[in-house]
Amino acid sequence: MNLTVTRRSTEDSDFYVEWNLRMGPLRTQPNNSSQRMMMEILSWSLWKTRNKFIFDNVSTSVEEILASALKLQKETTELPCMATRISKKVMEEVHQWGSMKQHGVTLKYMMEFGSNPTDKNLLLSAQFLHIELPVRIARRSIELENLPCGLSQKPAVLKAHYTIVAFTFLLCCIYTNTNLVRDWYLDSFRDLRSFREIKDMSDEKEFTKIIKAIKVRHDNVVPTMALGVLQLKRIMNANTAIEDHTEIHEFLDRFFLSRIGIRMLIGQHLELHKTNPNPNCVGCIHTKMSPLDVTRNAIEDARAMCYREYGNAPEVTIYGDPDFTFPYVPSHLHHMVFELVKNSLRAVQERFVDDDRVAPPVRIIIADGIEDVTIKISDEGGGIPRSGLPKLFTYLYSTAKTNQLLDEDSDLGIANTVTMAGYGHGLPISRLYAKYFGGDLQILSMEGYGIV
């Protein structure tokens, strides 16, 4: 396994009453819970058709409903306003800002700009975020709103059927939680746009409090989305290949990559306000980060978790130059190494749990190249079958056993809740962290041996 890091409003309420009345008889009629869920989510996804699609015949098959859904979605281009408490004016503003161009910020620029956090620079940073954050947040809000209808143009009818179900159910799962992901984004957009023009340091201080609250508000986005994906996996057709649902994976990649960027921008601004910062840090960026030290910390955290889960943890050996440093974001590297080591520890522990032999250690090598820093993590956990490799970086796949998967009734209000396996988000999100600053994450497997 190689991890490379580069150096360098109102009308909707009537509908919901109608929807509840219509769906009343269906709640007890379908043969199983999966059919009931699919019927309900399809009626929800087609709400814009209003009276065109009513479940008068409760014996209608799921396949017929799906066919009707596809036909009606082809006739529908207008999108629903799913957050009824958001005014029409705000939604129009969301679409206006979502069409604007967002501006990328390089690691080098953040280091140069943040190296001298004077009042003038802090004011400029706040003014930039006041314009940039609404654009990024609006784009994500629009994507969450637009997903189901955009699928209607797919040529393969059968694939389109299941894709509609997949996207619609993913959104339903998210929106039926107490803290709704899209509402978080819309609330944050409204907070940013309602804030006055930033002219002086008094405005900057108040704005900093606003974006700090926004960062906290979005802490639970990943576990909430993970719950939606988990519920989606439970109703997907068993014969449908996970990797075929490219729309879902592409959306989640864009969504989470954007989230990393938003949190990086906010976190950088907040860190520049620290009164006694580390002299080697420029905001979130450590100018002399030791990958060896960060990796050791990640190993300790992963082994502690393995101990809690299994009562034991394989050893981890690490090789690298203790004096080597380079500028990077320690929290990003910690996240990636922690996820990868956690996976290796679980694989080795489960493979040797009933073996008289001592479990072999997980091996980590940190190589300092001219252009790249490469961290290689190897284990003897048995490897991954070739058929499983295309699924590794998808959000609908997990190597965990069924009974290890995240329980949909579990408490997702705790942002730091982590288990050894089950979310299916560890590898794809880790790769996004690597790619954010131009790196990559690759996996080489020898089935019957381990990750090399």
Q: Is residue 387 part of a domain?
A: yes
- Spatial contact of 269 and 208, defined as CB atoms under 8 Å apart: yes
Which position among 130, 161, 332, 335 bears the catalytic label? 335
Q: Quick one: 323 and 192 in the same domain?
A: no
Active site residue 212: no
Active site residue 343: yes
**Mean pLDDT, rounded, for 266-271:** 95
Q: What is the per-residue pLDDT for 317? A: 98
Q: Directed axis angle between helix 181-194 and helix 157-175, to 10°?
A: 70
Q: Quick one: 297 and 268 in the same domain?
A: no
The whole-angstrom separation of Cα 452 and Cα 443 is 8
The whole-angstrom separation of Cα 126 and Cα 316 is 43
Q: Quick one: 119 and 204 in the same domain?
A: yes
Q: Quick one: 96 and 211 in the same domain?
A: yes
The whole-angstrom separation of Cα 432 and Cα 439 is 9
Q: Is residue 36 part of a domain?
A: no
Q: Quick one: 99 and 182 in the same domain?
A: yes
Which position among 2, 332, 343, 376 bears the catalytic label? 343
**How do residues 210-260 score in pLDDT, each as one tens digit?**
999 999 999 888 887 777 777 666 666 554 555 557 777 888 899 899 999
Q: Is the C-alpha dihedral spanning 350, 352, 358, 364 positive or negative?
A: negative
Q: Is residue 361 part of a domain?
A: yes
The whole-angstrom separation of Cα 245 and Cα 415 is 28
Q: Give me the sheet containing 326-328, strands edge to edge.
A: 281-282, 285-289, 326-328
The helix (run of H) or strand (run of E) holding residue 285 is strand 285-289
Q: Quick one: 219 and 350 in the same domain?
A: no
Percent of the chain with pLDDT over 90: 46
Q: pTM for the whole thing?
A: 0.74
The helix (run of H) or strand (run of E) holding residue 376 is strand 372-378
Q: Quick one: 328 and 445 in the same domain?
A: yes
Q: Is residue 353 part of a domain?
A: yes
**How do residues 120-160 score in pLDDT, each as one tens digit?**
999 999 999 999 999 999 998 888 776 533 322 333 223 33
Q: Is residue 338 part of a domain?
A: yes
pLDDT for residue 399 is more than 90: no
Backbone angles phi, psi at 233, to 5 degrees: -60, -30
**How do residues 18-69 score in pLDDT, each as one tens digit?**
333 333 333 334 444 444 444 544 554 444 343 333 333 333 444 454 455 4
pLDDT for residue 295 is more than 70: yes
Contact partners, residue 6, CB within 8 Å, separation at least 6: 371, 372, 373, 437, 438, 439
The last residue of one of the domains, among 250, 278, 306, is: 278
Q: Quick one: 217 and 164 in the same domain?
A: yes
Which position among 342, 376, 380, 425 bears the catalytic label? 342
Q: What is the CATH number of the domain that holds 327?
A: 3.30.565.10
Q: Is residue 234 part of a domain?
A: yes
Q: Quick one: 112 and 255 in the same domain?
A: yes
Which position among 339, 376, 380, 425 bears the catalytic label? 339
User: How many CB atoms within 10 Å of residue 435?
Assistant: 16
DSSP string, 22-72: HHTGGGTSSSSHHHHHHHHHHHHHTGGGGGG-----TT--HHHHHHHHHHH
CB burial of residue 123 (10 Å; 0-12, 13-18, 19+): middle
**Mean pLDDT, rounded, for 69-91:** 52
Q: How many domains does the chain have?
A: 2
The whole-angstrom separation of Cα 82 and Cα 79 is 9
Q: Quick one: 223 and 133 in the same domain?
A: yes
Q: Domain span at residue 333?
A: 290-407+419-451
Q: What is the CATH number of the domain that holds 134?
A: 1.20.140.20
Q: Quick one: 165 and 307 in the same domain?
A: no
**How do residues 319-352 score in pLDDT, each as one tens digit?**
999 999 999 999 999 999 999 999 999 999 999 9
